[in-house]
Amino acid sequence: MADKKWFEEMEAKIPKGKVRTRFAPSPTGWMHVGGLRTALYAYLVARKAEGTFILRIEDTDTKRYVEGATEIIIKTLKGAGLYYDEGPDIGGPVAPYVQSERRGLYRPYAEHLCESGAAYYCFCEHVEHTERDHESLGVVSAEEDKCRSLPIEEALCRVQAGEEHVIRMKAPREGTTTFEDTIFGTITVENKTLDDMVLIKSDNFPTYNFANVVDDHLMGITHVVRGTEYLPSTPKYNILYDAFGWQKPVYITVPLIMRDAHNKLSKRKGDPTYDDLLKEGYLPEAVLNYVALLGWSPGGEREMFTLEELVEAFDTAGISKSPSIFDKEKLTYFNGEYIRTLAPEQFAELAEPYIRKVLTRPEVDVHAVATLLQPRCEVLSDIPEKIDFFEALPEYDTALYVHKKSKTDEAVSLQMLKAAKTAFEALSDWTQESVHETLIKLAESLGVKNATLMWPVRIATAGKSVTPGGAVEICRILGREETLRRIHIGIEKLEEACR
């Protein structure tokens, strides 16, 4: 059992004097949207107050631990721009920042509680010694644990003899416990509904809930941002804080994120993780901006914020109690807006891997294709299907040439393509300006509106009615020879259809 000096030394290390927040995920796989939002809000609270943002890895649940998940968490936060001031990979004044590496710290604190009568050693074989989910923490056994009243001297003898045991919090059986939450206000629970939560498991590992309290104190955490699933645990957290004589942090409980009106968003049920969204072609900045608004309102009509602007605008008073629904269509809208604000060369760099998935022809100008795409792209992963016609002319039906607004049918389109073919064959300088000028002058000489000529050329060169860019841009990118080849195919198709 640790002596008084050890506890005093631990207290002396605690940073004080400024706001300190933490993101404390369990390394169980890819980060889900809810986890990203919690990290973001904790980051914003710290940055708004010019405080410290910490990453702590809570890996006490060995059954759910996933190899490599810690690295994923670190990569995700940095990729999203949520740079922390202290953490597993960069250290800090209260290192280590991985709970399994802090394992020796927890038992002395639990033993201290046993000494003071706020906890007890439990040897009962019929009692489950493993950690339970937050939702089931309030389930109180109908049978009082007989170890609650075991004299400390007898309990210590059995511990020293090597008898398997856990350490449990001794929850009060009478009265109430009240706590304050920034979002949900004052919450009071009857103590008779609180179970004797396990603090140290039989494998000598701390439970998540106990390690959470000890680490928040020892790391000087002043504000705790967490999900609503932690509300049932909070009375027990506060009982522990009171038993130790420690100052409680400010609780900021954020609402659930729902898939729809009835189901929570859950990566276990196949809902997208942050990494999934990036792979689908969403930009980190767009995802972060959208996630910020899931449960928080900045006031007013404005929706688009950079991370720096979020720091300025963020106020916990804007956080709602009500669940928010993850709307993929709204995220897609945000992403499209972000894509259009990118510098052309920046978009081209992001788009190139998607463009190269379908375009292998070396003569195709990738940057020219990207220029066409940027005003019309919502999600990067949609790029291949938008531009696949540049690689190979798809099979198409001549019914596409019939377009009421452009005043074209198959016969008119045939006439237009023959004229365009002749004009293009005479054109040696193949630029966007020259192609445009040639088609405009041709339409004028034919006595038709521009659209009457442009529509058939577009269909012939793309084989699609919906394309990024019109006839001029498509012809310019395809090049003279490929454009003429495709127009020739269009003429043959229309001649067959008009017989």
Question: Is 267 noted as a catalytic residue in this protein?
Answer: yes
pLDDT digits (tens, 9 = 90+) for 301-338: 899 999 999 999 999 999 999 999 999 999 999 999 99
- Give the pair of three-digit tokens for residue 471: 């006839």
What distance in Å separates the CA atoms of residue 55 and residue 90, rounded to the nearest whole number?
10
Return mean pLDDT, the chain: 93
Annotated catalytic residue, options 170, 248, 267, 386: 267
pLDDT digits (tens, 9 = 90+) for 98-133: 999 999 999 999 999 999 999 999 998 755 545 444
pLDDT digits (tens, 9 = 90+) for 333-387: 999 999 999 999 999 999 999 999 999 888 888 999 999 999 999 999 999 999 9
Please, which contacts does 264-270 make with residues 24 or more away whose CB atoms are closer than 8 Å? 265/32, 265/33, 265/34, 265/326, 266/32, 267/29, 267/30, 267/32
Residue whose C-alpha is closest to residue 179's, from 224, 107, 231, 254: 231
What H or E segment, with its residue span, contains residue 477? helix 471-478
pLDDT band at 267 (very low <50, low <70, confident <90, very high): low
Task: Please give the domain boundaries of the chain with CATH numbers for all domains.
Answer: 4-102+211-256 (3.40.50.620), 103-130+142-174+189-206 (3.90.800.10), 260-340 (1.10.1160.10), 342-391 (1.10.8), 398-498 (1.10.10.350)
Task: Write down the number of H helices and E strands in the chain.
Answer: 19, 11
The DSSP line for 232-245 is: GGHHHHHHHHHHHT
Strands 324-325 and 257-258: parallel
Q: Considering the entire predicted model, what is its pTM? A: 0.89
Would you tell me how many other CB atoms lie within 10 Å of the CB of residue 302? 9
